[in-house]
Structure 1
Amino acid sequence: MEFNKIEILLEKYFEGVTSIAEENELRNYFSSLDVAQHLEKYKPMFSYFLQAKGQMLNQEIPLQSRKRYVAWLSIAASVVVLLGIWIYVFYNHDNGNEKQDLGTYNDPEVALAATQKALALLSNHVNVGIESVYYIKEYQDSKELIFKQ
C-alpha cells in the first residue's frame, strides 16, 4: 500500500502539484534503506537534494560598479550627438554664392518682361477663382428666388 502512495506522490511531484509535506515524505522515504526495487532510480535524485541543501556558498561575489559603465555610456552618447551635428552641418551647408541670385535683373526691359509674364500668370489664376465666385453668386440668387427671403 505504501508503494502505491509513494508512486502517486511521485506522479504529483513530477507534475509540480505536491505540497511541502508530501515532498518531505518523499525525501524521508528515499533517504531510508527500504526503497522499492522499481523506485531505486529516484533515490540518487532525492539524496542529491538533501546533499545540496546542506551546502553553503561562502565565496564572496565581487560586484562591478556601474559608475564606469555610465561614464562610458555618456561619453559615447556625446560623441554620437556631435557626429550627428557635424553630418547635418556638412550636408546642409549653404554656400553664400548659391543663394545670392534673388531674381534681380540688370536690364530694365528684361525685368519689365519678366514682371509682365508673372502678372499675366497671376491674372489667369485669379480669373479662374473669380469664375468660381460667379457660380456661387448664381447659386445664391437661385436660393433667394426659391426661399424668398
Structure 2
Amino acid sequence: MALNNIEQLLEKYDNAETTLAEEAQIRAYFEKEEEVPAHLESYRMLFQYVVHTKQEQFSKTVSFPTKRTKIYRWISVAAVAVLMLGGYFQWNQKNQKLTLDDLSHEQLMAYNQTLEVFNLVATKLNKGTDNLAVLDLVSTKLNEGAENLDHLKVFGNTTNRIIKTNE
C-alpha cells in the first residue's frame, strides 16, 4: 500500500471520518510493514496496542460476597414475624371488650376525669356557637337590607326614565 494513501487514511482517522474497512486497512499496513517512516511510528505503536488488547482476556474468577444477602434475608424474615405478632396482638385486643367493672380504681378515676374535661370543652364550644347564632341573625338582616336596596335602585331607574321621557 502506498505511503501517500496511508497518510490520507490516517488524516481521516484523526478526524474520525474513517469507515471500519479503512481502519482495517490501516491496521493491516502497520502489522505487515517492518519499516515505518519515523513520523508514523506513533501510529504503529497505537495500532499494535489495539491488536494486543483485543487478544487479552480476563482470567481471574470474581467472587461475590453472599453473606450480605443472607443477612438481608433473615432481617426480612424477622420483620415479617414482628408484623404478624403485632397484628395478632392488635386483633386480640380488639376482640376483648372491657366494661367499667373491669377497670381498676386509677383507671376509673382517669376515665371520669376525662369525661369531665370533655363536658367542659363541650359547654365552651356550645357558648361559642350561641354567639355565632347572633352573627347569623345579623347576616340575614344585612341580606334583607341589600335586597331592599336593589328594589330602591329599580325604583330609581324607573323614575329617571319617566322624568326623562316627560321633559
Normalized against structure 2, the TM-score is what?
A: 0.49
CA RMSD of aligned residues (A): 4.3
CA distance in 2, matches of 1:130, 1:82: 53
Please report how far the alpha carbon of residue 61 of structure 1 lies from its aligned counterpart in structure 2 after TM superposition: 5.3
Gaps of 5+ in 2: 87-102, 149-167
**Corresponding letter in the other structure for 1:50:** V
Task: Name the residue aligned to 1:47.
Answer: 48
The amino acid that maps onto 1:44 is M
- Look up the match of 2:134: 134
Verify the 8 A CA contact 1:29 1:35 in the aligned structure 2.
no
| Matched residue, 1:73 | 72
1:17 CA drift (Å): 4.6
CA distance in 1, matches of 2:124, 2:68: 67
SS in structure 2 at match of 1:134: helix
SS in 1 for 2:110: coil
Matched, 1:9 2:12: yes
Contact 2:30 2:48 in 1 (8 A): yes
Report the CA distance shift for 1:34/1:6 in structure 2 as closer, same or farther (over 3 A): farther
Q: Structure 1 stretches of 5 or more lacking a match?
A: 89-95, 106-114
Larger radius of gyration: 2
The 2-side partners of 1:58 and 1:69 are apart by 26
CA 1:37–1:124 in 2, change beyond 3 Å: closer, same or farther?
closer
Confirm or deny: 8 A CA contact 1:30 1:43 kept in the other structure: yes
Bigger shift: residues 117-126 or 41-50: 117-126
Percent identical across equivalent pairs?
15
Measured after TM superposition, the shift of residue 9 of structure 1 is 3.1
- Give the whole-Å Cα distance in 1 for the aligned partners of 2:120 and 2:57: 92
Q: 1:41 to 1:122 in 2, by over 3 A?
A: closer
Q: 1:103 to 1:6 in 2, by over 3 A?
A: closer
> Hey, what's the Cα distance between the residues in 2 that align with 1:64 and 1:41?
41
Partner of 1:102: 110
TM-score (norm 1): 0.54
CA distance in 2, matches of 1:64, 1:35: 47
Deviations 1:7-32 (A, max 9, x none): 403413xxx55320121121022122
Residue 108 of structure 1 corresponds to none
| Counterpart amino acid of residue 147 in structure 2 | F
In structure 2, do the counterparts of structure 1 residues 127 and 104 end up closer, same or farther at CA, with 3 Å as the change threshold? closer
SS in 2 for 1:18: coil
**Equivalent-residue separation in structure 2 for 1:34 and 1:9 (angstroms):** 22
